A and B are shown apart, each in its own frame.
Chain A
Amino acid sequence: MKFKLLAAAVSSIALASPVFADLVLPWMSYRTGPYAVAGIPLADGYADYLTMLNERDGGIGGVPVRLLECETGYNTEKGVECYESTKAEGSLVYHPLSTGITYQLIPKVTADGIALHSMGYGRTSAANGKIFSNIFNYPANYWTAASAGVNYLLNENSGSLEGKHIALLYHNSAYGKEPIRTLEGLSEKHGFELTLIPVDHPGQEQKSQWLQIRRERPDYVIMWGFGVMNQVAIQEAANIRFPMENFIGNWWAGAEHDVIPAGDVANGYKSLVMNDTGSEFSIYDDIQKYVVASGKAAGAGDNLGTVMYNRSLYMAFLTHMAILKAQELAGTSDISQAEMIKGMEALEITDAMMAEYGLANIGPAFSVSCENHGGPGLGAVSQWDASAGKWNLVSDYLVADMDLINPLIQADSLAFAQENNITERCN
């Protein structure tokens, strides 16, 4: 009789308590294929952060987090398949990790009411939240990156680039062409000459491009590359003895694997960044304790502290903060897909939050709003120290030229709105 009473009591308590489903977070990884070198640490960082949350905190707001990793091989068709096969699981936010996949998913997530976060890639004009209700690309995008790069060069040249010559070496794809409009506008504004030099996929052979650079002798080379294109470009730059300190890659051309193959000659190469690098953040103590030491790390544990690992830790942190905000606004830990979007739109990242969660100064403080899904668009520059084998920040976070970029974002997003009969929101 006592046992029956106890069982009844337990079951009634269980029924009375809210039953929380998992917080489902999909991750479109590319652990295979030509870009796996970047895809593996990215996937490991995100997975390890979520494992740490589950092991240390029991999830977010008491609800366990469930990672849905789906392999795309950086292939757009596979990325769309991944989306279709995981969206019914209650996925809260997608990280497509590819500009091509992002473009394909924009109409799909909008129709399905699911959030998409393309951090530092994807469609730049998605920063206009009035048009792109479900797409977020905070804290920075390609156009702000290009502008931050030019602002860095302005600082290096006492505020004037008049008469200077900058070459843009870019992957001949939609991704590589993203900064062209911004750089053309900045070239007009600041009076520097801009030369566009495309490199065909995959970029293993760049002799023509570097002979052109050698002939034309630009003062600076900005690179929008990915994969093998980066390693070959850095080696070719060294071969023609182009000064490495005048060679700046974007943030997909500035990881350890981009510079290590060239060895010591890569010393001094620079890269744009949207977040800080290294393993000095206190979060690494918890990752070691709750994830690596207990054998639950997603990889072999050898990517901790690398540029790509840190970037996905940062992505996971921003997702974590958005879920907390969504839970706060919804008044429940078990949030819906629509509530996740509200959380992302109300996201505010402060220095205190970054410090509290073990990532002090990993990026700038910023906030998101209904109108602005792109954040502040700040970018800094880091430089490779080959002897120490590490990247060092060599600039503050620089403010992009929003007077030039905002009209570009406005024009591109309005064109998208017209094509798709979208009316502006946030009014």
Chain B
Amino acid sequence: MPEQVVFGMEVFLNGLMAGVLYALVALGFVLIYKASGIFNYAQGVMALFSAMTLVGVMNGQVPFSHLINAIFGTEIHHFGWHLPALAGILLTMGIMVILAWLVQKVIFKHLVNQAPIILFMATIGLAYFMEGFGDLMWGGEIKKLDVGIPQGINLWIDETTFNIFDYGFFIDNLDIFATVVAIFLVFALVAFAQYTKQGRAMRAVADDHQAALSVGVSLNFIWVMVWSLAGFVALIAGIMWGTKSGVQFSLSLIALKALPVLMLGGFTSIPGAIVGGLIIGVGEKMFEFLVGPLIGGATENWFAYVLALLFLVFRPQGLFGEKIIERV
């Protein structure tokens, strides 16, 4: 087989894996948009905040210690424990639920029936608040996140492909792990939405929140639940991306990777986020591999948005999004 074809196959597989990571971020956007019509600008910051909280909780770091020490002249930094990853994740999830409750109680409860742009602006405010709040709570320094996810080349794939193609493919163990988690997450979310009482209530609110209210569904509860789920998805995305790069401010920028995925897959479809992520991941990697060297490289961000724009022209609701028809 020609060398370029073999290399192309490796790039294709890595594109799929990258797409899964993009989809993980996009899922959080979809959940909130689907249930409340809010485009949550703070989703990337939620991933950062949850990852910072996870590291802080696992390492037994005292929250706001810099502030406490500066005000009271104390020297407290750590509780003295080190939690296993699972306990850390559960505790962080608890904190994300509290955050979801606060977001609903303090912000969105007061903005019911406001125009979407007002809700969007509120999430911009929330994003900036959480950026500063996270820094104040856990410190601005870069943090190593290790929850035991394997990283590095998968030797089995390397050896197997080497035996077949005389060239070993590089697939990162972290990406394989992320793929498994993403598949599980999508099935769990779909099952939750289809087969549980709360899930059906969530779908009812998504379809028509006034009708849902009239049959006794609590909007407050559903929105707290949806923001909690989005917090959980943000935590998963934060763990995957934070393991790669360390937990730092730039984690909040992963939202930039989710936008073209959402445009392509649709803002209201969970499977759409996955398929959109895969198309963007494979598309940008293959374009960079085939065309990048001819035009100087670094085409990936550009290509993802161009592809998304093309979809906007021909299918504005995305591949799986609902076509909205409003009567005038």
User: A residues bordering B, Cβ < 8 Å?
Assistant: 31-34, 36-37, 40, 172, 196-200, 202, 204-205, 207-208, 211, 214-215, 227-228, 231-232, 235, 238-241, 257, 260-263, 265, 295, 300
Chain B residues within 8 Å of A172, by CB? 297-298
Whether A199 touches B69, Cβ cut-off 8 Å, given contacts A204-B254, A208-B288, A208-B289, is no
**Contacting residues, chain B, for A214 (C-beta < 8 A):** 170
Residues of B within 8 A of A215 (CB): 7
A240:B170 contact, CB within 8 angstroms: yes
Q: How far is the CA of A253 from the CA of B131 in the complex (A)?
A: 24
Query: Which 8 residue pairs of A and B lie closest in terms of their CB atoms, listed nearest first?
Result: A261-B246, A228-B250, A198-B298, A172-B298, A257-B142, A208-B288, A200-B298, A198-B297
Report which of A32, A33, A204, A211 forms a contact with B245, defined as CB distance below 8 A: A204
Residue of B142, B146, B300 with most chain A CB atoms under a 10 A cut-off: B142
A-B contact pairs, 24 of them (CB 8 A): A33-B249, A36-B135, A37-B140, A37-B142, A172-B297, A198-B298, A204-B245, A204-B253, A207-B14, A207-B18, A214-B170, A228-B248, A228-B253, A231-B245, A231-B246, A232-B245, A235-B244, A238-B151, A241-B152, A257-B141, A261-B143, A261-B144, A263-B144, A300-B69
A172 to B300, CA, bound (A): 12
The interface residues of chain B lying within 8 Å CB-to-CB of A207 are: 14, 17-18, 172, 285
A239 touches B249 (CB 8 A): no
Check A235/B140 contact, CB under 8 A, given A34-B249, A204-B250, A205-B257.
Answer: no
Residues of B within 8 A of A36 (CB): 135, 140, 249
Q: A239-B151, A257-B142 are in contact. Are A199 and B245 (CB under 8 A)?
A: no
Quote the shortest CB–CB distance from B171 to chain A (angstroms).
10
B209 within 8 Å of A by Cβ? no
Cα(A86)–Cα(B248), bound, Å: 30
Decide: B142 and A211 in contact? CB cutoff 8 A: no
| Chain B contacts to A: CB under 8 angstroms | 7, 10-11, 14, 17-18, 21, 66, 69, 73, 131-132, 135, 140-146, 151-153, 170, 172, 241, 244-246, 248-250, 253-254, 257, 285, 288-289, 292, 296-298, 300-302
How many Å from the CB of A425 to the closest CB on chain B?
38
Closest A residue to B70 by CB, please name it. Answer: A300
Given contacts A37-B249, A197-B297, A198-B296, contact A231 B142 (CB under 8 A): yes
Contacts of B296 in A (CB 8 A): 196, 198
Q: Are A40 and B141 neighbours in the complex by a CB distance under 8 Å? A: yes
Excluding A202-B250, A228-B246, A235-B244, 15 further A-B contacts by CB distance (< 8 Å) are A37-B249, A199-B298, A204-B241, A208-B14, A211-B11, A211-B14, A211-B289, A227-B250, A228-B250, A231-B248, A232-B244, A235-B245, A257-B248, A260-B144, A261-B246
- Cα of A34 to Cα of B172 in the assembled complex, Å: 26
Chain B residues lying within 8 Å of A261, measured Cβ to Cβ, are: 142-145, 245-246, 248
Tell me, in angstroms, the Cα distance from A7 to B285 when the chains sit together: 81
A254 nearest CB across to chain B (Å): 14
Instruction: For the complex, give the distance between the alpha carbons of A33 and B132 in Å.
Output: 10
List, in ascending order, chain B residues with CB within 8 A of A231's CB: 142, 245-246, 248
Residue in B closest to A40 when the chains form the complex, CB atoms = B140
Given A202-B250, A260-B142, the answer on whether A208 and B245 have CB atoms closer than 8 Å is no
Task: Name the A residues within 8 Å of B145 (CB-CB).
Answer: 261
Assembly CA distance A311 to B289 (angstroms): 39
How far is B66's CA from A203's CA once the two chains are assembled, in angstroms? 30
Whether B18 lies near A235 (C-beta < 8 A) is: no
